[in-house]
Amino acid sequence: MSDAPATTANVMEQIVSLCKRRGFVYQASEIYGGLRGFWDYGPLGVLLKNNIRDWWWRNMVECPPIGPDGKIVDMVGLDSSIIQHPKTWEASGHTATFADPMRKCVKCGHILRADHYWDILATQSKWFADLMTTTDNGTKTDADTLIRWVKNKARKSAPNLAAVSHPTVTPPLAPDVQALVHALADGNEPCILCGGPLGTPEQFNLMMISYAGLQQTAENLVYLRPETAQGIFLDYKNVLDTTRVKVPFGVAQVGKSFRNEVTPRNFIFRSREFEQMEMEFFCPPDDALMWYDFWRNERMKWWLTLGVKAENLKFREHAQDELSHYSKATVDIEYKYPFTAPDFGELEGIAHRGSFDLTQHQTHSGQKLDYFDQELQLKLKAEGVPDDQVKARSRYIPNVIEPASGLTRAVLVLLCESYRHEKGRQGTEEYLSIKPRFAPIKAGIFPLVNKEGMPEVAEKIYLDLRQSFTCEYDPKQSIGKRYARMDEVGTPYCITVDGDTLTGQTVTVRERDTMSQERVSIDKLKLFLTDKINS
C-alpha cells in the first residue's frame, strides 16, 4: 500500500467532501438545512460500516480469541431494545451522573462543552482562525498588530470580544495562544462565535428523552439508550438461564446509541446518534485483572487487523481521578485523527467495571443476580480451602470487563487511515487504500468497449461474481475514468474484458494501489479474488 499519511491541515475537509461526493456519508436532513450531530450513511458508507461490523462480530462472537487460560472463550450475541425501563438508568447511575459541563455565551447564547473549550476554539472558530493567521499562530503578538486586528477584523468577526469595546491590549509576555486569547477577552474564555464572555460551567445530562405511551407524562418518560451495555446487564440472567454458557463468558452487541452531545463535531467522530460495538465479559472476581489485561491486548490486535498502522494507535491509561464512577481501571485505545494530530483521540475504551452494574441492577430490581460457580467450588475443595471460605468464594456477583468501541468512529478511522492524495497520480489524485476485506465494492467489472461482444461477457462475469462479492458493472466512459471512479471509493480490483478475452478466456485484473495489471483466466477469477480479499 502507498504510504502517504493523512496529516495535512485540510485533509479532513477533503475526506468529508469525498464522502459526500461519492455517497459514503451525508448530512442528515440536508434538504431542510441539516440537523447538527446527525449523519446518514449512503450506499457506500453502509457497505463499509457493515463490513467493519461483520468483522467485529466474527472476531468477537463467532471466533473469539483463545483465552489466557488456553480455553475456548464462551461468547454469545444479543440485540436488546434501545428503550429500556427507566429504572435501568437510575441503577446504572446515568440519570444522576451522565453529564458533561457546558458553558453558555452571555451575549449570543451559543452553548459549548466546557472541558473541550480550547479544542473547539481551534477547530471551529472563524475569528480565532483569522487571529492565528494574523499573528503567525500566536508568535507575532506586539500591541500594534493586535490593535490593528481588533479594530479591523475582530470588529466584524468577533463583535462581542472585550478588546473590541475598549481597543487596548496588553500582549502576553511570551508566545502563548491561551494567554493571547485571555488578553483579548479580559481574562475570560470568549465565545467561539461572537467573542462574548462565557458563563460558568453547568452540568448538562446527555440522555435523550422520549415518551412511551399515549400521554407525555412523567410516568411515560423513557430514555434512548446512551450505551448498548445496559441492555446486556439486564439480559445477563436470561442468557445464563437459556444457553449453555458458564462464567467466564461474554455477551456482545452492536447497535445505535444516543447522546445529546453539547458540541457534536469533527464530522462523524462525535455525533448525537451513533453505533457502538460493545462486549461485557462476566468473570470471577479473582480473575478479573487477568481478563482485563487479556482484552486490552486483544482489542489492540484487532484494530491492527483492519489495516490501521501501529504508529497511529496507542493506549492511554485513565488516571484514578478520571475513572468513571463504576470503574476500577480503564484504558482507552486512541487513534491519531487528522484533527487531533500530533495528538490522539479516543476510539475504544476497555473498562474493568467490577461488579458495579450487576450489583446495582440486583438492588434496584430485587432480582438475584449472583452466580454459583460449581467448578470453583470443586477446585477450592480440592485445594483444601476451609468449607466456610469455599462457600463464600464460590457464590459471587461476576466482575465485568468491557471493551466498548464506536462503529461509526471506526468508519471514520478507516476513512482517515486509507485516504491518499498523491500529486500527479494517473486518473485521480485522491483514492482510498482500504484493505480489500473492508472495501465497500470488491471489484469493478468493465467491458473495454461497449460493443464487439465484450459487454455480454463482462455482464456474465459480473452476474457470477456478485454471488460472492459486492461488485459493480460499468460499461460507460473511458477505461481510465472508470478506474479513477473505482480508486476514489477504494475498490481494490478492476476486471476488464478486452479483445483477448474473447479468444483466450482471460481478463485483465488491475490492482488499485500499485495500478499493476495481470491476466487471470475467467474460471480462476473467483478463487483469485477470494484469496486476495481474505488475506
- Give the integer Cα–Cα distance in Å for 533 and 535: 6
Q: In angstroms, what is the minimal distance from the CB of 401 to ligand ATP?
A: 13
> How many whole angstroms from its chain centre is CA 408?
4
Q: Tell me the closest approach of the beta carbon of residue 301 to ligand ATP, in angstroms.
A: 17
Min. distance of Cβ 260 from ligand ATP in angstroms? 9
Write the DSSP string, 202-217: EEEE--EEEE-SSS-S
Crossing angle for the helix pair 387-394 and 374-382, nearest 10 degrees?
A: 150
Name which of 265 and 420 has its Cβ closer to ligand ATP.
Answer: 265
Compare residues 318 and 532 and give the one whose CB is closer to ligand ATP: 318
- What does each C-alpha distance from 507 to 185, 446, 482, 504, 521 come to in angstroms? 67, 10, 16, 9, 6
Q: How far is the CB of 14 from ligand ATP (least distance, A)?
A: 21
Q: Which is nearer to ligand ATP, 268 or 484 (CB)?
A: 268
* Residue number, 11 or 404, with CB nearest to ligand ATP: 404
Query: Minimum CB separation from ligand ATP for residue 507, in Å?
Result: 41
- CB-based contacts of 247: which residues, under 8 Å, 6+ apart? 282, 283, 284, 371, 373, 398
HEC profile of 299-313: HHHHHHHCCCCHHHE
Q: Residue 449 carries which side chain, given as an amino acid letter?
A: V
Q: For residue 288, what is its C-alpha cell? A: 478479573
State which residue, 225 or 259, has the beta carbon closest to ligand ATP. Answer: 259
Contact 444, 472 (CB under 8 A): yes
Residue 125 CB, nearest distance to ligand ATP (Å)? 21
Lay out the sheet containing 399-406: strands in order across: 74-77, 249-258, 273-283, 399-406, 345-354, 329-335, 313-317
Closer residue to ligand ATP in complex, CB, 259/435: 259
Q: How far apart are CA 274 and CA 409, in angstroms?
A: 8
**For residues 322 and 456, which CB has a smaller minimum distance to ligand ATP in the complex?**
322
Closest residue by beta carbon to ligand ATP: 406
Residue 436 CA to residue 420 CA, distance in Å, equals 15
Residue closer to ligand ATP, measured from CB, 271 or 355: 271
Return the number of the residue (404 or 458) whose C-beta is nearest ligand ATP. Answer: 404
Angstrom distance (rounded) from CA 390 to CA 377? 6
The DSSP call for residue 235 is T
225 vs 510, beta carbon nearer ligand ATP: 225
- Closest contact distance (angstroms) between CB of 339 and ligand ATP is 13
Per the listing, cell 411515560 goes with 220
Nearest approach, Cβ of 534 to ligand ATP (angstroms)? 27
Min separation Cβ 491 and ligand ATP, Å: 27
In the complex with ligand ATP, the residue whose CB is nearer, 134 or 276, is: 276
* Adjacent-strand bridge partners of 432: 419
Kindly state the DSSP code that residue 61 receives in the 8-state scheme.
Answer: I
Nearer to ligand ATP, 341 or 347 (CB): 347
490: left (phi over 0), alpha (psi -120 to 50) or beta: left
**Residue of 103, 263, 114, 101 lying closest to 198 (CA atoms):** 103
Smallest distance, Å, CB 159 to ligand ATP?
Answer: 31
Least distance (Å) from ligand ATP to the CB of residue 239? 21
- Pick 171 or 349: Cβ nearer ligand ATP: 349
Of 149 and 335, CB closest to ligand ATP: 335
Q: Which residues bind ligand ATP (CB under 6 A)?
A: 227, 259, 261, 270-271, 274, 276, 346-349, 404-406, 408-409
Q: Is 354 left (phi over 0), alpha (psi -120 to 50) or beta?
A: left
> Least distance in Å: CB of 224 to ligand ATP?
13
Residue 281 neighbours by CB under 8 Å, 6+ apart: 248, 249, 250, 291, 295, 400, 401, 402, 403
Least spacing, CB of residue 296 vs ligand ATP, in Å: 13
Query: Which H or E element spans position 488?
Result: helix 479-488
Query: Residue 271 Cβ, how far from ligand ATP at the closest point, in Å?
Result: 5
Radius of gyration of the chain (CA): 28
The residue whose grid cell reads 439486564 is 234
How many Cβ atoms sit within 10 Å of the Cβ of residue 54? Answer: 14
The order of strands in the sheet holding 202-205 is 111-113, 99-104, 202-205
